[in-house]
Every structure is written in structure tokens, then in C-alpha cells.
Amino acid sequence: MRVPTLLAFILVGLIPSLPTPSIADDGTRPPILRPAHRGPMALHAPMTEIARAARRLVAVGDYGIVLLSDDDGKSWRQARDVPADSMLTSVVFTGPEQGWAVGHGGLILSTVNGGESWKPAYRASADTVLMSVAFDKAGRGLAVGAYGTALRTTNGGVDWQPVVPGRGEDADRHLNHVVVTPSGAFVVAAETGALFRSEDGGSSWSVITLPIKGSLWSVLVLADRSLLATAMGGRLFHSTDDGRSWTALASPTTQALGGAAQLEDGRVVVVGLAGTVLTSGPAGLEFSAATRPDRLAISSVLTVGANAVLLAGNSGITRMEVNRPQP
């Protein structure tokens, strides 16, 4: 059995210790729920992703920690009730109050008060690792993870059912990130250069294989409705047809690249291992590279204002000003 080299494991410097599965309502044992670690050190814990919930920011990370900010990331406080002490890898909001988080231990958590408190929405087996979650405008959602794990909801997260995006040798690919395209399709970035795409909310899937051996880590929807995918080895790919086909972009780095975000003026920021930060110009996808002084891994990035981003990674949450382009 191959070891799951998933981005969250790499970026926070952790190797998952997976419990032995046994039996429960879905044929496996659900994880024992323990509350998230609490205390002042939570503000410095490794963090994996940040999402917007109207004017609030919600960040998730290791030890079940959920942080909230009501001032665009200038200050943070810990959510009061999170029934998980394992790593949370992804968070998304479908409205100002309703949100979802996924992570290790097969948990899907939900909130109805903007992240203040959370409750279990679904419990898979304790050895399940979920990596990403996304919803479309019709209330259909998809949570994806290691070894081809994918869970689908068609009723706004009330019920979740397993689906299989891949077939044959593609069935157990690690599924690293899911995004909803402008047309409403689900696109999943996976290992060995695979992308899975569904136009019917996850009922049926097609596979696109890019010419790389490493994993694809994330997909970003750009303002012009095109898509940008990041990958191992500093690879970048661009799609102008809603994810059906992709072309390789020039990249100034060979470091693994993770999350990406777009500033108001069109510039794109991509982050990755060893403190890597790529920034494009406002008119195109030509990138320059910089390295953060601490050289710590960064898993995701969120824009705050015209020229600033928040970085989530091994050092927690860090604010970074993005230099304005020279006239």
C-alpha cells in the first residue's frame, strides 16, 4: 500500500497516524469525538485553509482548531465548540452562517452560526482522510480525500453518500482538492496528474490526465472564468474551457505548489513548500517567485483588500503585503 503524500501532510510537516478500522453503521467504526484543543497556543497552531463567511474569516487547522476573525485577519479568536481534535483540512461557507469543514477521522462538520460552534454532519471510518469540500449553488456538495474517497450530498449537506469519481486504476487516486467551476461543474485535482470532472453534481465523471507524474494540489477559478491548477514540482496549468482541457504554464520554481488566490487587480498569488510565493502581473499568468524568510510551508492563501493576503500554513496565519506592480 502506497503512503498518501497529500498536501496537508506535507505542508504542516505531519505524517498521519491512522487508527485501525472496525465496524459501525456504514460498515466501519466512526471516530470517537473529542473536543478541539483550546488555549493561547491555538493562535499559533499549523493552519490549513481560510474561508470567508460574509465579513467574517474562518480558518481551520491541526488539533481541530477553528479560528475566527471579524477584522479581516488583524486579530483572531478560537471557536468555542468544535467536536474534533484531529486535523481539519478544508472549510467552505455557503452563506454568512452556514459552513462546512472536513479533515482527518472521516468527519464532516457543519456550523449554522458563522463558525462559532460546530456539530458532526457525517462520520465515516476513523481511518478516512478528507482533504477538501465544495458546494454548488444548487446545494449539491462534494467532499474528497485519500484513496479515492468522495462523499456527495444533493440536499445541502443533510445526507452524504459515497461516490467513485475514478474507474479501474483511477479509482483509488488521492483526491486533493475540489472546486466548482463557473458552469457549475465539479473539478477534482488528484494525484498522478489526474483531474476528475462532473457536470451533474457528482453522478457521473470524466477523467483528464495531464502529462505529469506528480500530484495536482489545487484549482482556482479566476475572474475571467478560466481555471488555474497547481502541482508538484512547481507545475502550473491553465484551462479556458471550464476544465475540459489544460495547457502548461511557465513556472519560476520547482517547489510543490498548493493554494492560490486572485487580487482585485487580477494578480494571482500562488503558495507552496519552503515559503514559496509566486505572484503574477495583472495582465497575465507570467509569474515571479519569492521565498518567505522563515521558509516554512504554506498550504493556502486568501486575499484581504487590494494588496494583501493571508497565508495559512506551518506557522499559523500570517498577513503579507503584495507589492504593487511597477508602472
What pLDDT is stored for residue 30 in this prediction? 54
In a domain, 320, yes or no: no
- 128: enclosing H helix or E strand: none
CATH number at residue 291: 2.130.10.10
What pLDDT is stored for residue 295 in this prediction? 96
pTM over 0.75: yes
CA distances from 164 to 139, 147, 208 (A): 19, 10, 15
Same domain for 178 and 269? Answer: yes
Q: How confident is the model at residue 22 (pLDDT cuts 50, 70, 90)?
A: very low
Q: How many residues does the chain have?
A: 327
Range of the domain at 82: 29-127
Same domain for 105 and 176? Answer: no
**Residue 255 — φ and ψ, nearest 5°?**
-70, 150
Same domain for 142 and 261? Answer: yes
In a domain, 12, yes or no: no
pLDDT per residue over 296-320, tens digit each?
999 999 999 889 999 999 999 999 9
pLDDT per residue over 156-173, tens digit each?
999 999 999 998 888 999
In a domain, 165, yes or no: yes
Same domain for 216 and 287? Answer: yes
Same domain for 167 and 56? Answer: no
- Amino acid, single-letter form, for residue 183: S
Q: Which of 65, 97, 127 is the last residue of a domain?
A: 127
Give the mean model confidence (pLDDT) for residues 74-85: 94
Same domain for 120 and 75? Answer: yes
pLDDT per residue over 245-290, tens digit each?
999 999 999 999 999 999 999 999 999 999 999 999 988 899 999 9
Distance of CA 269 to the CA centre of its chain: 15
Alpha helices (H) in 57-213, listed in sequence order: none
Count of domains for the chain: 2
In a domain, 158, yes or no: yes
Same domain for 78 and 180? Answer: no
In a domain, 326, yes or no: no
Same domain for 266 and 309? Answer: yes
Residues with Cβ < 8 Å from 70, sequence gap 6 or more? 55, 56, 57
Same domain for 140 and 106? Answer: no
Q: By the 8 A CB rule, do 105 and 146 touch?
A: no
- Identify which of 175, 222, 225, 172 has the alpha carbon closest to the alpha carbon of residue 197: 175
Q: Which of 127, 156, 178 is the last residue of a domain?
A: 127
What residue has cell string 510565493? 277
Which three three-digit cell numbers place residue 171?
Answer: 479509482
Same domain for 185 and 93? Answer: no
